[in-house]
Amino acid sequence: MPDNSQSQTTVVIASSLKPVKDIRAWGKLGISIRETSKYSLNIIGFSAKKIEKSEEANFYSSMAFSRSRWDRIRAMARFTELLLKIRPELLICCTYEYLPFARFFKKIIGYKLVYDVQENYVANLSLNPLLTEKKRKQLGKIILRMEAPNGIDLFLFAESCYQNEMPEKTPYLVLENKFAGSIQQILPKNYSGKKHFKFLISGTLTPAYGTVEAITWYREIHSIYPGSSLRIIGHVSLDFYRKVIEETAANEPSIFLELSEIPVPHSKLLEAYSDADFLLLPYQEHAAIRDKMPTKLFEAAALGIPVLHSPNSNWEIFSEAHSSGHPIDFSKNELPEESFQEAISKTYFTNSPDSSLLWSSQSQNFINAISSLLEK
């Protein structure tokens, strides 16, 4: 078990629906804290299995993943129970649902409260096609009340654009979702003359992320480059959309679906990169997505996997700087061969990836921020 000596500062990093070993909460924030050897680290997150004891940190289950409303309520009770048991000096909340409880118990326990803003949750309501406009407004008001700045000592922004989107959230520190690994030795890649390709779609699969459009696009490419394949691996939280994906991919044996009702372990997603010629980011045009920098851009560039992404000026600047990708409009089926020909005529990774892609390039800023906070 981790060292819980009195010389160490007790820290809790808490999520409800994110896995107990979530790539950001644990793999980035948690490991950065652990590496200082100054903190006793406790991680709360969901786990469908019994959590084994670890030398790295104390891991606690918020709930076994379920879509049940009662499970969500039990997760709040579990969070309260653990706060009173652990009595941290620093609490980092990675979900807005915990914030009302975190504010209340802050007065009793006396910890510093940090909110890790992983999404613009109010803006993201527009991405859910099942919500009516009335429901979106109601939920938006609830989220804004939960995320109110009072009682929060520091905000962590997972996206630089949140500075403009949420100006009321201060003080803040931008910690982008860069790659939590090391730069690989990458040689330039050119696919001229290649007759078949392995495409990959991975991660969260929702209508706004354009999975269905990418399947339709792929079918056209496959008719021109038979022998190609498309692997889709990820978390589908909307049942109706899972069925749409399956129906769109039906009768095409070169499309391999690995769809999960719960988030796929990040390590498995990264493993899928190694076998791909192109990672596809077919996101639709939405205001809630437009200014964000997907984690997969950083990961693919660091691992040397070319990305075909939807047209987006920020992503195109990134791809040009790292010679790591090419824009494709997956929503237009006219002349898909022509646009793909442009993509395979390019040479990728003519520029060696640098440390700006890595989480380690900003992790010291995080450690400095929480050290300064605890000294106040």
CATH of the domain at 289: 3.40.50.2000
Whether residues 102 and 218 fall in one domain: no
Give pLDDT, residue 64: 63
Domain that holds residue 34: 9-118+149-177+359-375
Whether residues 99 and 226 fall in one domain: no
The better pLDDT of the pair 116, 334 is held by 116
Domain for residue 72, yes or no?
Answer: yes
pLDDT at 62 over 90: no
How many domains does the chain contain in total? Answer: 2
Pairing of strands 58-61, 9-19: unpaired
Would the pTM of this model clear 0.85, i.e. be above it? yes
Domain for residue 129, yes or no?
Answer: no
Domain for residue 184, yes or no?
Answer: no
Please spell the DSSP secondary structure of 33-65, one letter per residue: HHTTT-EEEEEEEE-SSPPPP-SS-EEEES-S-
pLDDT at 65 over 70: no
pLDDT at 5 over 70: no
Range 71-98 average pLDDT = 93
Domain for residue 74, yes or no?
Answer: yes
pLDDT at 298 over 90: yes
Whether residues 344 and 204 fall in one domain: yes
Sole residue written with tokens 């499970």:
71
Range 225-250 average pLDDT = 96
Domain for residue 113, yes or no?
Answer: yes
Whether residues 253 and 173 fall in one domain: no
Tokens of 215: 């399947």
Give pLDDT, residue 263: 86
pLDDT at 2 over 60: no
Domain for residue 370, yes or no?
Answer: yes
Whether residues 159 and 194 fall in one domain: no
Range 115-143 average pLDDT = 96
Give pLDDT, residue 310: 96
Whether residues 324 and 212 fall in one domain: yes
Q: What is the pLDDT of residues 16-37, one digit of tens each?
A: 888 899 999 999 999 999 999 9
Whether residues 325 and 223 fall in one domain: yes
Q: How confident is the model at residue 53 (pLDDT cuts 50, 70, 90)?
A: confident
Whether residues 369 and 243 fall in one domain: no
Give pLDDT, residue 67: 60
Domain for residue 19, yes or no?
Answer: yes
Give pLDDT, residue 46: 85
Domain for residue 138, yes or no?
Answer: no
Nearest residue to 299 via CA among 211, 184, 131, 148:
184
pLDDT at 284 over 50: yes
Whether residues 162 and 210 fall in one domain: no
Distance CA 202, CA 304 (A): 16
Whether residues 332 and 368 fall in one domain: no
3-state SS, residue 86: helix
Q: How confident is the model at residue 333 (pLDDT cuts 50, 70, 90)?
A: low
Give pLDDT, residue 72: 77
Whether residues 261 and 370 fall in one domain: no
Any residues with CB less than 8 A from the CB of 39 and at least 6 apart, and which?
Answer: 8, 9, 10, 11, 33, 90
- First and final CA of the chain: distance in angstroms? 30
Q: What is the pLDDT of residues 311-320, one digit of tens each?
A: 999 999 999 9
The better pLDDT of the pair 80, 54 is held by 80
Give pLDDT, residue 1: 47
Whether residues 286 and 301 fall in one domain: yes
- Residue 121, by phi and psi: left (phi above 0), alpha (psi -120 to 50) or beta? alpha
Nearest residue to 155 via CA among 142, 173, 141, 143:
173
Any residues with CB less than 8 A from the CB of 205 and at least 6 apart, and which?
Answer: 211, 232, 234, 235, 236, 241, 245, 259
- Mean pLDDT of the chain, nearest integer: 93
Q: What is the DSSP letter of 179?
A: B
Range 287-293 average pLDDT = 95
